[in-house]
Amino acid sequence: MILDRISHFRPQSILDVGCGCGSFTLQMANELEKHEISALITAADINESHLEKAARDNPHPFINYLPMDGSTLNFADQSFDAVICRYTLHHIPEWQKALADMARISRKILLIEEPVDEIRYPEKAFFMEAQNFLVPMQIEAGFYHRPHFKARFLLENLENIFGKNSFAFEIHQKDEHSDFEEFFQTWGSFASKTQRPEYWEKEMEYFRSTHQLQDIISADCFYAEIPAR
């Protein structure tokens, strides 16, 4: 999706909103170089510990890691050829406002990838159950995370913001499996930041005892290309 499409727009400057630990940002920089595109990438995230890890583990001469809240993008209009928002909207409380702001600072294109709550067969339901188990703990740890959107809800909101038939979108079906421990490998770092780590440890023990044998199947993905206006 974004990785496959970004070179089509031949951007010279990119803002990656919510870059996390930078692994995708680095993939994107390397993909652009394959097409002889030397884009300067500003990779922004609110979590400074993630940015420290990104700078340490995923350095690149064309990537600048920047601490910034995705809901407050302090850039002038049309500052970047492309703005990327990948798996980030569900971490932004006022995400509709943030999307409009991303479009404002985009000179060519705004590209969005967002996991969606679409249960195409019963086994996929456990992904949402696992996500919803994590949400209250993450919020208590100061890390905003709302449940994933339904695809129809996300589409209707994009149409309200940008207008019907003003952008291209696709829903990509994803069926990758991960085991329980792989999926929950970071839960302890969130629990330790809450006021009740022992409580969450007990909750996790119970959740593990009742669900551990189940594989977790990844969420489908909503992809949109929104041209600059």
**Which domains are assigned to the chain?**
2-227 (3.40.50.150)
The predicted model scores a pTM of 0.92
For position 212, what pLDDT does the model report?
A: 75
Q: What is the pLDDT along the chain (229 residues), one digit of tens a residue?
A: 999 999 999 999 999 999 999 999 999 999 999 999 999 999 999 988 889 999 999 999 999 999 999 999 999 999 999 999 999 999 999 999 999 999 999 999 999 999 999 999 988 999 999 999 999 999 999 989 999 999 999 999 999 999 999 999 999 999 999 989 888 988 888 899 999 999 999 999 999 999 877 889 999 999 999 999 8
Separation CA 44–CA 76 (nearest Å): 16
Q: How many CB atoms lie within 10 A of CB 187?
A: 21
Give, in degrees to the nearest 5, the angle at Cα 41 between 186 and 34. Answer: 95
Supply 144's token pair. Answer: 């905003």
Nearest to 50 by CA among 29, 24, 85: 24
